[in-house]
């Protein structure tokens, strides 16, 4: 048995760290939490200073026994859970559940899973930080009180199955408040006037100048209120001479953004890659835990991905500056290293920003070892970090004031003089070069046209994932680890839905939000939720006992809860009535919400369970649309149907007699879906033949007796670069010891 036991949170880390530490260490995973508050009861003793009751997680019973056995046979136990408050709490729970003695226990943390970082952590262990543990305990107890006390009230007064949460309810409130702003918004008319001008010296390149002032009084955005006022200005400009009054040229520098924090990574991945917050974190977790990128053991490609700090280790910064000089030249290396400070409230500056573990691991050089999504996110993280350490971009700008009677028009131009950090990381709002002709003071210009244009002010946009995360962070609500699960929860509970990529509150969400704001306005508000985060920080810094924070919250909360129990009437969530009639019973259809969007359901549900797809025009959409394409098997017309998540496909009109189906490519053409491949494997449930199919997530096995038998197993495959045959999982191998999948033909 090895002398030392290292306990990590996930099996992926277990594999990577085991290779790094060698034979003297055994590395095992706790698979996350092994102790928690009980699910079946409240688990908080209010009368005895909010004492929590922790129990071993049911699924961890066998695991705990195994870890105890390994710990007893080891000289030292290193608790190597994640580098955040939750990780510290998991380490403490491990110590308690395994009955580890202080003398035998050491806590180690690391920002990155690299040989240097892991070995340094083992050589420099510390004791458990009980301030961090208590801070996480306070968060858990607080969320349990809110969830277990408020949720039953919502079940009783609104609808069974609802939930409330300290962070999720504020997120719903922010979305509902924005929807109210949009509904109550009254557009305001305003006008702009541009002049299209041309140099008199034979130039053919016209340029535009915008009306800026009159007699020294500047025109604001809403200064020209209507057409009559715009026409008055046009009349005063009739016959005016246009003369260049002043010309100013200068250089403007643009600095790079800092490296990613959790929230900025999620925002950028949403905007640039279309990833959800949960998808971004799932991929980032894989990049952090370790991926084999060629010779040598697997290594983490990025640092810890749950952070709100912008710090960079000095050794890494020095290495990065040398990399920049070698790969891009001295002009791209700043004279002094760049340092960034986060603007988010209560950021944990002891952490590091999200960055590649080595600047030399250029994305293109390891692309073959990564999945498409892994490469996209790693490429984004690498470029953002490298750019954050580079020199400014430099623009040459020119501004010209052009006089016309008492009016001044303003023309401006900008050209990129030096790329700087833009060579690596293009900013979405990159300025396009806008050149002006060479103008001289006193020069007369020819007017080509005056261009008045009507505008209206627009309401604030609905939140998408990126802007909602930004709003939560700016208000100090939640922590890096909470953004993705919060968004998932409010979608799963149908408090909000996605219209395209924008959040729209459902009728249910609006009713729940109104109830919580009216009866629990003391806690369901931005200030309270942000204030709690500050108090949790104080607990982490050992400045206040965690029980005091809970008590301060619970006393007024209990009064509000009792008042709501007595005075809150049963609420009804009204479904929006439509003009469509149910084809089965003739009653009106109503618009209902689901996580996948809105649909039409019969108003007499559950007596009549008829549902219909909802078209963009608010009316019932046809379930199937006949096309002019033909089935290759029976020559019948193909009909277009809506499949999973609204993705269309083609099916034979004579289904189920003919079950031919086709995918639709980007040009609208039919693409025959591949036939399932027969195998020698037998279904472990009904002994029928297993069929091999190819899905979006790769190859998998399904029972040929579907839909009577729905047995399905995924086939685990190696990374593309490994060039190995697909492997069956342990469970699939047990289907038949001798059965094998048909061999794949080698691709050229």
DSSP 422: G
- Catalytic entry in 304, 369, 463, 554: 304
In this structure, how many other beta carbons lie within 10 angstroms of the beta carbon of residue 745? 6
Distance CA 210, CA 411 (A): 6
Residue reference for tokens 């200064």: 223
Distance CA 296, CA 668 (A): 46
Distance CA 475, CA 24 (A): 48
Q: Reply yes or no: is the peptide bond before residue 707 cis, omega within 30 of 0.
A: yes
**Residue 389: how many CA atoms within 13 Å on its side-chain side?**
27
Q: What share of the chain is helix, strand, coil (3-state, %, to 5)?
A: 35, 25, 40
Q: Reply yes or no: is the peptide bond before residue 606 cis, omega within 30 of 0.
A: yes
In this structure, how many other beta carbons lie within 10 angstroms of the beta carbon of residue 159? 15
Burial 645-682 (b: 16+ CB within 10 A, else e): eeeebbbbbeeeeeebbbebeeeeebeeeeebeebebe
Cβ burial, residue 355 (10 Å; 0-12/13-18/19+): buried
Distance CA 599, CA 490 (A): 19
Pairing between β-strand 611-613 and β-strand 670-672 as defined by DSSP bridges: unpaired
Nearest of 343, 297, 658, 336 to residue 473 by alpha carbon: 343
Helix axes 483-492, 465-474, angle to 10 degrees: 120
Beta bridge partners of 394: 253, 418
Q: Reply yes or no: is the peptide bond before residue 656 cis, omega within 30 of 0.
A: yes
DSSP 104: G
Cβ burial, residue 693 (10 Å; 0-12/13-18/19+): middle
Furthest-apart CA atoms within the chain: distance in Å: 97
Q: Is 31 a catalytic residue?
A: no
CB 553 within 8 A of CB 523: yes
CB neighbours of 329 closer than 8 A, spacing ≥ 6? none
Distance CA 608, CA 611 (A): 9
Active-site residue set: 304
């Amino acid at each position: 048995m090895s002398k030392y036991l290292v306990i990590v949170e996930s099996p992926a880390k277990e594999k990577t760290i085991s290779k790094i530490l060698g034979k003297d260490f055994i590395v095992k995973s706790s698979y996350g939490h092994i102790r928690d508050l009980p699910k079946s009861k409240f688990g908080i003793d209010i009368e005895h200073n909010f004492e929590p009751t922790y129990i071993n997680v049911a699924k961890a019973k066998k695991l705990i026994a195994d870890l105890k056995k390994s710990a007893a046979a080891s000289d030292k136990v290193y608790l190597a859970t994640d580098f955040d408050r939750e990780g510290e709490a998991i380490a403490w729970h491990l110590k308690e559940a395994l009955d580890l003695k202080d003398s035998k226990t050491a806590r180690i943390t690391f920002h990155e899973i690299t040989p240097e970082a892991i070995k340094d952590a083992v050589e420099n262990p510390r004791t458990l930080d009980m301030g961090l543990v208590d801070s996480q305990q306070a968060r858990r107890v607080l969320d349990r009180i809110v969830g277990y006390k408020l949720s039953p009230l919502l079940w009783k007064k609104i609808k069974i199955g609802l939930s409330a949460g300290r962070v999720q309810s504020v997120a719903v409130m922010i979305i509902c408040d924005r929807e109210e702003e949009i509904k109550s918004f009254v557009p305001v008319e305003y006008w702009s006037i541009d002049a299209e001008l041309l140099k008199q010296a034979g130039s053919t390149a016209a340029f535009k100048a915008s009306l800026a002032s009159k007699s020294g009084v500047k025109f604001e955005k809403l200064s020209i209120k209507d057409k009559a006022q715009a026409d008055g200005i046009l009349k005063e400009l009739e016959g005016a001479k246009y003369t260049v009054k002043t010309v100013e040229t200068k250089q403007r520098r643009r600095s790079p953004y800092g490296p990613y924090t959790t929230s900025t990574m999620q925002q950028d991945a949403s905007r640039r890659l279309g990833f959800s917050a949960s998808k971004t974190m799932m991929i980032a977790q894989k990049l952090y835990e370790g991926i084999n990128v060629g010779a040598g053991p697997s290594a983490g490609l990025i640092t810890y991905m749950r952070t709100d700090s912008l710090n960079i280790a000095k050794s890494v910064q020095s290495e990065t500056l040398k990399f920049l000089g070698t790969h891009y030249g001295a002009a791209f290396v700043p004279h002094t290293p760049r340092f960034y400070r986060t603007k988010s409230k209560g950021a944990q500056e002891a952490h590091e920003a999200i960055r590649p573990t080595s600047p030399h691991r250029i994305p293109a050089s390891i692309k073959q070892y990564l999945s498409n999504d892994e490469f996209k996110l790693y490429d984004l993280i690498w470029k953002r970090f490298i750019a954050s350490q580079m020199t400014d971009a430099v623009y040459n700008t020119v501004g010209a004031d052009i006089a016309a009677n008492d009016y001044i028009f303003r023309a401006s131009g900008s050209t990129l003089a030096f790329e700087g950090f833009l060579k690596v990381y293009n900013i979405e709002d990159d300025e396009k070069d806008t050149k002006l002709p060479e103008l001289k003071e006193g020069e007369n210009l020819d007017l080509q046209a005056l261009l008045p244009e009507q505008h209206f002010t627009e309401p604030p946009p609905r939140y998408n994932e990126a802007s909602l995360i930004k709003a939560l962070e700016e208000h100090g609500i939640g922590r890096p680890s909470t953004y993705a699960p919060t968004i998932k929860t409010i979608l799963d509970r149908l408090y909000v839905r996605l219209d395209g990529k924008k959040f729209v509150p459902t009728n249910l969400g609006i009713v729940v939000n109104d109830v919580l704001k009216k009866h629990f306005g003391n806690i369901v508000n931005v200030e309270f939720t942000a204030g709690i985060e500050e108090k949790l920080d104080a607990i982490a810094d050992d400045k206040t006992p965690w029980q005091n924070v809970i008590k301060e919250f619970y006393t007024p909360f209990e009064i509000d809860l009792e008042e709501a129990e007595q005075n809150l009437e049963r609420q009804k969530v009204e479904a929006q009535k439509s003009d469509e009639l149910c084809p089965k019973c003739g009653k009106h259809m109503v618009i209902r919400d689901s996580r996948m969007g809105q649909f039409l359901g019969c108003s007499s549900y559950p007596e009549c369970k008829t549902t219909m797809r909802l078209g963009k025009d608010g009316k019932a959409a046809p379930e199937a649309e006949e096309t002019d394409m033909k089935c290759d098997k029976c020559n019948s017309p193909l009909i277009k149907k809506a499949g999973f998540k609204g993705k269309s496909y083609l099916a034979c009109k004579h289904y189920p007699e003919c079950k031919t189906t086709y995918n639709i490519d980007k040009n609208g053409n039919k693409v025959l879906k591949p036939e399932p491949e027969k195998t020698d494997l037998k279904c472990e449930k009904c002994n029928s033949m297993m069929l091999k199919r190819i899905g979006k997530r790769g190859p998998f096995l399904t029972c040929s007796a579907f839909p009577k038998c729905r047995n399905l197993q995924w086939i685990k495959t190696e990374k593309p670069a490994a060039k190995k045959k697909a492997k069956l999982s342990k469970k699939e191998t047990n289907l038949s010891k001798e059965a094998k999948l048909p061999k794949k033909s080698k691709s050229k």
